[in-house]
Chains A and B, each alone.
Chain A
Amino acid sequence: MDLLKRILLVEDSPRDTELILEALAMNQLANEVVSLSDGADALDFLYRRGQFAGRTDGQPAVILLDLKMPKVDGIEFLRVIKGDPILKVIPMVVMTSSREQQDLLDSYQLGANAYVVKPMQFEEFVKAVTQVGAFWAILNEAPPGSVTRRVNKAP
């Protein structure tokens, strides 16, 4: 029996969202994904404010984070959450199409736990998402306070 932990996906492109969800689905990881299309919404979610004011369940076990987003971009989001004494424990995986050194540097300096470049080939893409999902959502021990749900492993 595996404990399936919640994944928060912060990605502004609906196409990339769909591709990631499809890839996660191929590995039975898609059920506990909360997908938000902007860093601002994601902040509201984590801080339980705005449209998420009434949220009572726990925090995600891992956040998949895109960098290039309109209102609050990935770097800004990283800075806020990793700067927050309580929320900083949540593992963050940057998933971006940028291979630029500066983005890598900024992300790691701000405390990102991993940096994955979205592969061009879909096969590679699926592999990457699978590995990320399998590690963070299943193998990794989530920080206390994360939401979990028991699932039966597929026969």
Chain B
Amino acid sequence: MSGKSNPHENRIGTAAVGNEDADRRQYSRDLREGEQSLRLQVGGLRNVAIFTLDRSGRVATWNAGAERFKGYKAAEIIGKDFSCFYSAEDIAASKPKRELAIAEQEGCFEGDGLRIRKDGGSFLANVIITSLYDPNGQLIGFSNFVQNVTERRKLSEQFRLAIEAAPTGMLMMDRAGRIVLVNTQVEKLFGYRRDELLGQGIEKLVPKRFRERHPEFRESFFGDPTARAMGSGRDLYGLHKDGSEVPIEIGLNPLQTSEGDFVLSSVVDITERKRAEMDLSRQSNDLQAINRQLHAANAELQSFAYSVSHDLRAPLRHVQGYIELLTRECLTTQLSDKARDHLLTISEASTEMAQLIDGLLTFSRMGQIELQESQVKLEGVVQDAIKGLEKETQGRNIDWKITPLPHVFGDPTALKQVFANLIGNAVKYSGPRNPAHIEIGCAGDEDGRAILFVRDNGVGFDMQYAHKLFRVFQRLHRDAQFEGTGIGLAIVQRLVVRHGGRVWAEGALNEGATIYFTLPRATVG
């Protein structure tokens, strides 16, 4: 006797063959022992719920896993209808009956569903219900194999949510390059709906000129599947549905799952970044061009100033030389006082011209010299400048007031020149004063730069003409009063401006003058 053949046969009992009662008994015994040991093993399993139902769905056997998952002890559940494991909605929808029916018709039902525990709690179960037949092919019941897949489903959900929520495009493809997962960003980026992409080859999103080689890249990635950026050094583009190309950056991550090898790639639209890069590079080019022009202009100015001063010097020297010779010649002959005066005037005038030429040359050099950038202790610079004015301060009664000065960023030599000029002016224009008061200090900040000043109680100037002070060769005092070429302040301004600061002056006639200028503070280390 053999059982009726069924597609998914699961025999607990089999027919004994032949006429041997003894054989049959032995066979039965063996079977029972096997069955018992299996039952023990199955019964003891705690990670899987395995239980059987009779043909009407009442619980027949119950293992430890079932007790653990569903909370019922064997004694209290055996005999009860298994629909109590389903939710009210499922019962109302006749889900239990339907699943059994499928198991009977097809031999097996597999599916995920919500299951209710004794305590009312629920969990997501993956269930395999198999129909059981006796040797005659009659349905005797069902075996249930239940796994708690709540965690797995949660993780899977989380994975999907993470992919969906990612701020970059996320695309998953299998080894053959078929797209199996996309997120909204990918849809936006490429202009496709996900149903237009899922199942399609990834090359659909690759611009035509790169399509041929792309499968090669895919294979080489799987040959060495490590997380990395794609195509470093190359510009990558994606093909939009409308045919346009999108500059992108692609990150590749291998995913080895039980279902095979996949690649999870992140795709970032870098159109904005590329545009910013181009803007930046264009700006940089512009700046470089301007810089070159400035350098050229400066060099031209310098060479102009040099040749002017150089070529002007020779005739001047001659004038002075011949005046001397003339004077010496005239020692022996009678020369009127007026004549002598005239000679003296010519001589002085040519000396002045020489000084102007020197001043002009120095001024033009101020624009060309490379400024060293370093932290400068201004107190030291001021002392050096004062020391350099020994000749001018000799015999003078000067009351110096130097208040604490900040550290600044700048060229020490240039800054010494600035102070030398300003302090020199203060000394000069306070000549008539006894004592002269010269004050050097810091008066706060402007735009993050320190405001420094040099103040004197000298003859001052009319504020009306303050704007003329810093011009080249501009003087507000007649030659007779104070010697000078009027280039000192122009040089000061040029140097301060080169340090990024500005200069201005305040004063009143006969009430002294204050020259203010700003320099960048150095962060004291």
Contact = CB atoms under 8 A, between A and B. Distances in A.
A95 to B, nearest CB: 12
Interface string B369-411: 0000000000000000000000000000000000000000000
Contacts of A123: 324
A120 B314 contact: no
A22 B322 CA distance: 10
A122 B323 contact: yes
B191 interface: no
Contacts of B498: none
A126 B322 CA distance: 12
B282 interface: no
Most chain A CB atoms below 10 A, which of B318, B321, B322, B354: B321
B77 interface: no
Interface stretch (A11-19, A38-46, A138-146): A11-19
B480 to A, nearest CB: 22
A115 interface: no
B313 interface: yes
The size class of the interface chain B forms with chain A is 10 to 19
A22 B318 CA distance: 13
Contacts of A5: none
Interface string B293-335: 0000000000000100010011011101111110000000000
A15 B323 CA distance: 12
B314 A122 contact: no
A15 B313 CA distance: 13
B316 A16 contact: no
Q: Which of A120, A123, A126 counts the most chain B CB atoms within 10 A? A: A120
A131 interface: no
B318 A120 contact: no
A113 interface: no
Contact of A13 (B314, B316, B323, B324): B314
Interface string A92-106: 000001101000000
Contact of A19 (B306, B310, B321): B321
A78 B323 CA distance: 33
Query: Which of A119, A121, A123 has the most chain B CB atoms inside 10 A of its CB?
Result: A121
Interface in A108-152: 118-123, 125-126
Given A97-B310, A98-B310, A120 B323 contact: no
Contacts of B354: 120
B316 A15 contact: no
A120 B313 contact: yes
A19 B313 contact: no
Contacts of B313: 97, 120
B269 to A, nearest CB: 57
A100 B314 CA distance: 15
Contacts of B314: 13, 16, 97
A120 B318 CA distance: 8
A93 to B, nearest CB: 18
B318 A19 contact: yes
B320 A100 contact: no
Nearest to A119: B317
A97 B354 CA distance: 12
B317 A22 contact: no
A123 B321 CA distance: 8
A120 B320 contact: yes
Contact of B316 (A98, A100, A120, A125): A120
Residue of A118, A119, A122 with highest tally of chain B CB at under 10 A: A122
Interface of B: 306, 310, 313-314, 316-318, 320-325, 351, 354
Given A22-B325, A121-B351, A122-B325, 20 more contacts: A13-B314, A13-B318, A15-B321, A15-B322, A16-B318, A19-B318, A19-B321, A19-B322, A97-B314, A97-B317, A98-B310, A120-B313, A120-B317, A120-B320, A120-B351, A120-B354, A122-B320, A122-B323, A122-B324, A125-B317
18 contacts: A15-B318, A15-B322, A16-B314, A19-B318, A19-B321, A19-B322, A19-B325, A22-B325, A97-B313, A97-B317, A98-B310, A120-B313, A120-B320, A122-B320, A122-B324, A122-B325, A123-B324, A125-B321
Top 7 A-B residue pairs of the complex, sorted by shortest distance between their CB atoms: A122-B324, A19-B321, A122-B321, A15-B318, A120-B354, A122-B320, A120-B317
